[in-house]
Amino acid sequence: MPRRGWRRMNNIELLFSSPAIAGGLLIDGILFGSIFALIAYGLALVWGVMNIINVTQGEFVILGGFAAVVMADNGFHPLLAVPVAALVLYVLGRLLYRTIIHRIVDRDLFTSLLATFGISIVLQQLMNIVFGGDPRNADAGLGVWFAFDYSIVLSKVKLLAFVLAIVVGAALVVFLKMSRLGQAIRATAQNARAARVVGIDTNRVYEATFALNAAICGAAGALAATAYTIHPYIGLPYTVRSFMIVIIAGLGNIGGVLAAGLGLGAAEYYAGFILGAEFQIAFVFGLLVVVLLARSWWLGRKRRYLK
Amino acid sequence: MNPQKMFLYGAIVLAGLAGPFIFPNNQVQMTELWLFIVFALTWDLVGGQMGYNSFGNVVFFGIGMYACAVVQIGLVYDVGEYTAAKGGGTAFIFDLAQYIWGFAIGLPVAAMLAALAACVLGSLVLGMRGHYFAICTLGLGIAAGEIAAGWDWIGAGSGMTPAPPPHDIDNVNRLFYYMAFALAVATFATIAWLLRTRFGLAINAIRDDEDKAEAMGMFTTRIKVTAWVIAATFLGAAGGIYGNLKRFIDPLDTAFSGATIGVWMVLMAILGGKGTLWGPVIGAIVFQVTKELFWTYLLGWQRVALGVLIVVIVVFFPEGIVGRVRQMFPERFGPRADAREGAE
């Protein structure tokens, strides 16, 4: 298709010739990326502590988003939904742990992968039935700021979502460092057996970790629904983004998670602009493959492999 | 092969041949069943026998589906014009010879393209292990779907209609049935034979301990890629048939449907029994019957029910039907030391 290829070239040219567009994309991307970083931090928590890769991550996010949408529809301010969504997801997380997750904690990784994938399909379809398949948004009615002679448009709600995502992330870090439960979670992550020896009830720690992760995702989802749009089938990209960020940053590296998250957000906005919005999801999943290949190749040079 | 087994295989083949005449109303479902058996068997070759759990085998399925449709159309008309006309109405008509030739060339091309894709992707991706491989293949499957959904030449997001069957064939689904049946028999025979050879031992060795297998001097990457290529070849052909059976190819819901067919093939293999020859076949039969019952009696909730089924099977029944039977009757069905008499 020569026409579309031509458009892409034009888009790249436009990026270089107009710093306002490039800068606007960068800012938008970084703002969106903060939400990815928050979700990725939750995934790293569950992965590090329970050795489970939670594919349900994205569905938790969307569910939190729908909580915000429902509250906005009923006349509440959608940002009130952030704690509410976190609470709802916290309860759901506990429930899922009690029924399913505790059976797969010590099983092999593929079992947990497939089981959480099954849960994510159930949640996805339930949301489709309950809320419908249309893209939704919880409008906070905050408007926009203009900067540099109206050349950069800055949506206030995206900025607020960014700040809140950072606040939630920081609160989580403090919680893990300071509180008793946070210390127990970190101890279990380091060595579950030793933690049991010194009297930590690891089963309760796992439950708390899983529920905490769900709550984080819920809060992130409420922010995502307020600042962006959601629909029931957009969960998996969130899962894959968070997975990608954790692979790049490594487990237990908060600064790395934040940097990778913001970088991914920016990369996605540039890719969406250059390739066209219809290839943005393809870019996310393609990037996942590239990141894994790069990591695998890098380890292969050291005679190790991705395991 | 002992007479008992000969009788069993003969009965299955006879039942398969007579199927559409006994249950003419369930012909499409039975066609799907044979294709599902192909999905489960090919997934199990790599996932169960070799221990590389893939969520992305659906890539080869989708490639085969599109390749076959493009060849069928491209032999007679211009593909871009055909897809631009959204399946074309009355302007694009295929006569019998064109239709048959479309399949005769399209299916091998589908299989070969899928095999080629497996060769290229496999040499890149199969260096990863465990869950990284699983998630990487998941990414491959969805990326492929999204790319197909953005590619105008094959209809982009609005999908593609495979060549409409000519009016001379009054029961075109019967043609699809026998193609699917032949493919399932060929797949089963090939995999049953492969598992009796040194190749079967090699992929089992990779599953059990890849580092040791490599230390013993096996070219593990080459073996892994070969296994994936074999799986992809059959999947590609199955995709070609499936697209024609469904009469419409949606890039995300039919061709590269990671959340439905991509997971179902894993589920069928696990339900029947991972790493066994008959497990995937039995799993596919049970799954197809369950799925049709869900679609009939739980309309609107069928996908929720299938998700619950996935969780329940994975969490509570991971050994599968054949695995359970082996545990219950070890002396009758358990693995035997002389089972691999064909291996040198």
CA–CA distance, B109 with B120 (Å, rounded to integer):
16
pLDDT band at B236 (very low <50, low <70, confident <90, very high): very high
Q: Which residues of B touch A109 (CB under 8 A)?
A: 130-131
Give CA–CA dist A249/A239, Å, rounded. Answer: 15
Provide mean pLDDT across the span B322-335. 80
What's residue B344's pLDDT?
Answer: 41
Burial A256-269 (b: 16+ CB within 10 A, else e): bbbbbbbbbbbebb
Could you tell me which residues are beta bridge partners of residue A230? A136
User: For chain B, first and last CA: distance in Å?
Assistant: 17
> Would you say A229 and A16 are in contact if contact means Cβ atoms under 8 Å apart?
no
Do residues B107 and B75 make contact, with C-beta atoms less than 8 angstroms apart?
Answer: no
Contacts of A279 in chain B (CB under 8 A): 146-147, 150
Which whole number is the average pLDDT over B308-317? 88
pLDDT at B84 over 80: no
**A8's tokens:** 């892409």
What is the C-alpha separation between B311 and B256, in angstroms, rounded? 22
Q: What pTM did the predictor assign?
A: 0.87
First to last CA, chain A: 41
Dump pLDDT digits (tens) for B198-219.
Answer: 999 999 999 888 888 888 888 8
Residues with Cβ within 8 Å of A187's Cβ and at least 6 positions away in sequence, in order, are A194, A195, A198, A200
Residue A2 pLDDT: 45
What pLDDT does B88 receive? 54
Domains of chain A: total: 1
Three-state SS sequence of A111-153:
HHHHHHHHHHHHHHHHHHHHHCCCCECCCCCCCEEEECCCCEE
From the centroid of its chain, how far is CA A31? 13
pLDDT at B225 over 90: yes
Predicted local confidence at residue B59, as pLDDT: 92
Which range, of A107-116, B53-62, B265-274, averages the lowest pLDDT?
A107-116
The pLDDT-based confidence of B258 (bands split at 50, 70, 90) is confident
pLDDT at res. B25:
81
| A7 CB within 8 Å of a chain B CB | no
Mean predicted lDDT score pLDDT of chain B: 85
**Residues contacting residue A297 through CB under 8 Å, at least 6 positions apart:** B127
How crowded is residue B76: how many other Cβ atoms within 10 Å of its Cβ?
A: 17
**CATH number of the domain enclosing A105:** 1.10.3470
- DSSP assignment of A8-58: HHHHHHHHHH-HHHHHHHHHHHHHHHHHHHHHHHHHHHHHHHH----TTHH
Range of the domain at A143: 35-262+278-301
Q: Rounded to whole angstroms, how far apart are CA atoms B167 and B157? A: 29
- Structure letter (DSSP) for residue A154: E
What are the mean pLDDT values of chain A's consecutive 10-residue runs (307 residues total)? 57 72 82 89 89 90 91 82 91 93 85 89 90 79 64 75 86 88 90 90 91 92 86 87 87 83 89 80 86 83 67
Closest of B18, B324, B58 to residue B174, by C-alpha:
B18
B118-122, B156-160, B194-198, B308-312: which range is least confident on average? Answer: B156-160
Complex ipTM: 0.83
* Residue B341 scores a pLDDT above 60: no
A–B: how many Cβ contacts below 8 A?
Answer: 133
Q: For A226-258, how does the pLDDT look when each residue is reduced to its tens digit (9 = 90+)?
A: 888 888 888 888 998 898 898 888 777 788 888
A27 occurs within a structural domain: no
A281 close to B (CB below 8 A): yes
Judged by a CB distance cut-off of 8 A, whether residue A300 touches chain B is yes
- Mutant choice from A289, A295, A307 vs B, greatest count of B C-beta within 10 A: A289
Query: Per residue in B274-296, pLDDT tens?
Result: 888 888 999 999 999 988 888 88
Specify whether the CB–CB gap between A157 and A227 falls below 8 A.
Answer: yes
A109: nearest CB among B130, B263, B310:
B130
- Please state, in angstroms and rounded to a whole number, the distance separating the CA atoms of residues B143 and A286: 6
Q: A111, B152: Cβ pair inside 8 Å?
A: no
The helix (H) or strand (E) run that includes residue A215 is helix A202-227
How would DSSP label each residue in A218-273?
Answer: HHHHHHHHHHS-B-GGGHHHHHHHHHHHHHHH-TT-HHHHHHHHHHHHHHHHHHHH
Indicate whether B17 pLDDT > 50: yes
Most confident of A175-179, A226-230, B94-98, B116-120: B116-120
Give me the residue label for tokens 């939704």.
Answer: A136
Q: Which residues of B touch A111 (CB under 8 A)?
A: 314-315, 318
Listed in sequence order, the residues at least 6 apart from B154 whose beta carbon sits closer than 8 Å to its beta carbon are B66, B69, B70, B79, B83, B148, B160, B251
Instruction: Provide the residue ranges of all domains of chain B, joining segments of one domain with +.
Output: 26-333
**A19, part of any domain:** no
- Most confidently modeled range among B12-26, B28-42, B160-174, B318-332: B28-42
User: Are B314 and A307 in contact (CB < 8 Å)?
Assistant: no
Residue B104 and residue B70 in contact, taking contact as beta carbons nearer than 8 Å: no
* Residue type at B160 in one-letter notation: M
Q: What is the pLDDT of residue A149?
A: 59
Sign of CA dihedral A168, A174, A179, A184: positive
For chain B, which residues lie within 8 Å of any Cβ of chain A, measuring from their own Cβ? 53, 55, 124-125, 127-132, 134-136, 138-140, 142-143, 146-147, 149-150, 152-153, 156-157, 259, 263, 266, 270, 300-301, 303-304, 306-311, 314-316, 318
Query: How far is Cα A61 from Cα A222, in angstroms, rounded to an integer?
Result: 8
Q: How close does chain A come to B339, measured CA to CA in Å?
A: 28
- Asked if A278 is an interface residue toward chain B (Cβ–Cβ < 8 A), one would say yes
CB contact at 8 A, B90 and B141: no
Residues whose CB is less than 8 angstroms from the CB of residue B114 and which lie 6 or more positions away in sequence, other chains included:
B60, B61, B63, B64, B67, B232, B233, B235, B236, B237, B239
Give the span between the Cα atoms of B227 and B122, in whole angstroms. Answer: 9
Rounded distance between C-alpha atoms, residue A106 and residue A202, angstroms = 12
Of A181, A225, A185, which is closest to residue A85 (Cα–Cα)?
Answer: A225
* Residue A12 covered by a domain: no
According to DSSP, the residues that pair with A153 across neighbouring strands are: A146
Q: Containing H/E element for A155?
A: strand A152-155
What local confidence, expressed as pLDDT, does residue B343 receive? 45
